[in-house]
């Protein structure tokens, strides 16, 4: 904790403001770069279980031109969903209508069977739509789920899965217990993230994917915590 006068605060704030403006300008350039990514056609047919019945990927759009999916970590044999993912999803209900008004459909998707997802959704009081990719290839194809036989060879920006399972750090063992996964392989069998799809000329395109290494999937409350001072 650093104590100072109002004049000290104003001087420090001016210095911080310059840095924040520089960061904002950089963020705008990155945002534009993200929007200019190439659109990749989705050539494979996928099926999902939704609260309104079976749906294809185009049907998940609900007649809108853009689809925003939050990949909520909930393994097929887990007792509950990821606590961090759940805290993010707690804040999504209020933005659904606003996104719908802007031609965007928002939903959560997990690997667990639909009945387990719906029960958990009711328990949390969520209103955001939820779909299950259980039994299909969608989450595997787009990097949000991993088959056991492939885990040892998976290396991504944020982790080396083979090394992670071999070392089995304490946080991973704790996480397995927290979500009720039967073993460590199950605990790392799914990944969080966002994926974006767009409809154009009757075809579906994948325009963006983001995985856990990015701050773009940080829960709302974590972002708010960043506004608070260091107490030590």
The CA distance from 65 to 61, in Å, is 7
Rg (C-alpha) for the chain, rounded Å, is 20
Domain-embedded: residue 6: yes
- pTM for this predicted structure: 0.86
Domain-embedded: residue 75: yes
- Domain total of the chain: 2
The CA distance from 143 to 190, in Å, is 8
Under DSSP, is residue 200 helix (H, G, I), strand (E, B) or coil? strand
Same domain, 105 and 124: yes
**Residue 129 and residue 50 in contact, taking contact as beta carbons nearer than 8 Å:** yes
The CA distance from 162 to 108, in Å, is 28
With pLDDT > 90 as the criterion, what percentage of the chain qualifies? 68
Same domain, 120 and 25: no
pLDDT tens per residue, range 103-149: 999 999 999 999 999 999 999 999 999 999 999 999 999 999 999 88
- Kindly compute the dihedral angle of the four CA atoms of residues 149, 155, 157, 161, in this order, to the nearest 10 degrees: 60
Cα 41 from chain centroid?
A: 21
Domain-embedded: residue 20: yes
pLDDT category at 161 given cuts 50, 70, 90 is confident
Same domain, 92 and 23: no
201 phi/psi in degrees, rounded to 5: 55, 35
Domain-embedded: residue 173: no
Same domain, 29 and 76: no
Cα 81 from chain centroid?
A: 13
Same domain, 81 and 31: no
Question: In which domain, by residue range, is 46 found?
Answer: 40-145+190-225
pLDDT tens per residue, range 93-112: 888 999 999 999 999 999 99
**Helix spans in 47-104 (H):** 57-60, 83-89, 96-101
What CATH number should be reported for the domain holding residue 63? 3.40.30.10
């Amino acid at each position: 904790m650093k104590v100072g006068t109002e004049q000290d605060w104003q001087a420090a704030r001016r210095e911080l403001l310059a840095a924040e403006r520089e960061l904002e300008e950089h963020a705008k350039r990155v945002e534009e770069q993200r929007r200019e990514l190439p659109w990749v056609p989705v050539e494979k047919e996928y099926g999902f279980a939704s609260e309104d019945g079976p749906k294809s990927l185009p049907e998940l759009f609900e007649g809108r031109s853009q689809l925003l999916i939050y990949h909520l970590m909930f393994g097929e044999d887990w007792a509950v969903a990821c606590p961090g993912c759940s805290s993010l999803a707690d804040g999504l209900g209020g933005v659904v209508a606003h996104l719908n008004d802007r031609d965007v459909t928002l939903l959560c998707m997990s690997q667990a069977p639909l009945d387990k997802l719906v029960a958990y959704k009711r328990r949390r009081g969520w209103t955001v739509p939820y779909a299950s990719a259980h039994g299909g290839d969608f989450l595997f194809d787009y990097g949000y789920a991993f088959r056991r036989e492939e885990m040892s060879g998976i290396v991504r920006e944020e982790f080396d899965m083979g090394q992670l399972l071999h070392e089995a750090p304490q946080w991973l063992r704790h996480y397995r217990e927290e979500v009720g996964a039967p073993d460590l392989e199950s605990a790392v069998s799914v990944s969080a993230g966002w994926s974006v799809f767009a409809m154009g000329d009757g075809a579906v395109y994948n325009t963006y994917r983001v995985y856990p290494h990015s701050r773009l999937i940080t829960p709302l409350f974590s972002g708010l915590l960043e506004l608070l001072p260091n107490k030590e």
